[in-house]
Amino acid sequence: MSVIYRRSMLFLDKFVPPKFQPTWNHPAGPKTIFFWAPAVKWGLVIAGLGDLARPVEKVSVSQSSALLATGVVWARYSLVIIPKNWSLFAVNLFVASSALYQVVRGLRFQMALKENESLETKE
């Protein structure tokens, strides 16, 4: 696989304009996993934004909490590694933000259910 990858990068190097060479050859640029992993992870952000329309009864607090923790941990990690990976930081910040919103929605709904149940039992 690495032979195919190296050859394809040498082939593609010829087509990258000189203006974009610094970005192309950057340690966290498109030639590395440091670029493609965050690019693909934006799919989680898109899914999280799609879940904003999901009925609150169907929100999984535990799943959203796991995404929140993952986003926070990886956002921190992206600023500790060398080179700092700002695209990884940005995507994880968005993952954590959308997950936090879902956690808050889910917890508010669960608290409202418990409050309604306690009111019904008192009557």
Distance between CA atoms of residues 92 and 97, nearest Å: 8
| Choice between 34 and 86, residue whose per-residue pLDDT is larger | 86
Kindly report which listed range (23-32, 56-65, 92-101, 110-119) carries the lowest average pLDDT score: 23-32
Sign (positive or negative) of CA dihedral 70, 76, 82, 84: positive
Per-residue confidence (pLDDT) for residue 1, from 0 to 100: 57
Q: Which one of 41-45, 48-52, 104-108 scores highest in mean pLDDT? A: 104-108
- Per-residue pLDDT at 48: 87
Nearest to 77 by CA among 60, 95, 62: 95
Element containing residue 46 per DSSP (H, E): helix 33-50
- Give the span between the Cα atoms of 6 and 95, in whole angstroms: 32
